[in-house]
Amino acid sequence: MPARTDGENSGITSWTDMLGFLLLLSLSSPVAMGPHPSAPPDPCSHCRCDHLGPAEGSGDPPPLREFRHVPEVRTYINMTILKGDKGDRGIMGTAGKAGLEGPPGSRGPVGSKGGKGRAGLPGEPCKAQHSAFSVGRRKSLHSLDAYQTLVFDTVFVNLHDHFDMFQGKFSCRVPGVYFFNLNIHTWNFKETYLHIMHNDAERAIVYAQPSERSIMQSQSLMLELEPGDQVWVRLYKRERENAIYSDDVDVYITFNGYLIKPGAGDN
């Protein structure tokens, strides 16, 4: 068995002496040694019947005396005196389970305005929208008993074939504002009477009274069109002699149109 050091022997001796002192103190305390508070004091006197005891030399044992109270010894140790030094901090335990989600908090105040952001990358160029035509006629035309469409036989410009040469009508593919122009040559001594039509509505007239001399007449207008709208020229029906002049050498009759401004959805 290894020998104890002087410090260990001194500690053991100190604890032993302290325990012995506390035990002696508790035994000698008047509270511990005194009679029970509820018991009356024991008179220090002989019982009246002491003379009734057995006669001396009779051989009978003397009667036992009754003790009213036996002192109770209670040991009290103040544990605060025996309190040791504070121990080291323990290791952190495992994390507990996540609690229930709380209710949403109230809305906070509006923050300050942020700084100006960086310029974005350049976008793709806008898709250009174009629509234009220019057609002519090299043959003269006389009126009939009913309205008739003025058709053309010469093409100068017809982007994307928006002008139908067989029907003599322009069909709108790109919505927006268009400009139209009609030029004709009158016939001597004959009336000239035509309309520029928007679908089935008369929009502008080209008119010339009969005269000894033929002249050039012109009409222009702008129309706002939607996809599917048609623009064409109609020769008025025969009530009086009505005609326009042209020949195979020169082009006297022309019809032109082009897009000025695309609609809002095509900018």
DSSP summary character for residue 83? -
Report for 22-26, 92-96, 156-160: range of highest mean pLDDT: 156-160
Which tokens in the block code for residue 188? 């001597």
**Cβ atoms 232, 197 nearer than 8 A:** yes
CATH of domain 132-266: 2.60.120.40
Q: Where are the domains of the chain?
A: 1-36, 132-266
**Cβ atoms 124, 110 nearer than 8 A:** no
237: phi then psi, degrees, rounded to nearest 5: -70, 160
Q: How far apart are CA 208 and CA 211, in angstroms?
A: 8
* 240-243 contacts at long range (C-beta below 8 A, 24 or more positions apart): 240/191, 241/142, 241/143, 241/189, 241/190, 241/191, 241/210, 242/142, 242/143, 242/190, 242/191, 242/192, 242/193, 243/140, 243/141, 243/142, 243/143, 243/187, 243/190, 243/191, 243/192
Q: What is the pLDDT of residue 220?
A: 97
Section 142-164 average pLDDT: 93
Q: How far apart are CA 78 and CA 214, in angstroms?
A: 141
Is residue 15 over pLDDT 70? no
Q: How far apart are CA 101 and CA 205, in angstroms?
A: 78
**Range from 4-13, 115-124, 182-191, 220-229 carrying the lowest mean pLDDT:** 4-13
pLDDT in tens, 52-79: 555 555 566 665 555 556 667 677 666 6
Which tokens in the block code for residue 102? 């709380």
Non-local CB neighbours of 9 within 8 Å, separated by 6+ positions: none
Percent of the chain with pLDDT over 70: 68
- Band of residue 27 on the pLDDT scale cut at 50, 70, 90: low
